[in-house]
Amino acid sequence: MTQLSGVTLAYMGDAIYEVLIREMLLKQGIQKVDNLHKNAIKYTSAVGQNKAVECILDSLSEEELSIYKRGRNASGERKAKNASVMEYRKATGLEALFGFLYLEKRNQRIYELLEEIMK
Which of the residues are catalytic?
Answer: 14
| CA dist., res. 30 & res. 24, Å (int) | 9
Helices of type H across the chain: 6-27, 33-44, 46-56, 62-74, 85-103, 107-118
Greatest alpha-carbon pair distance for the chain in Å reads: 41
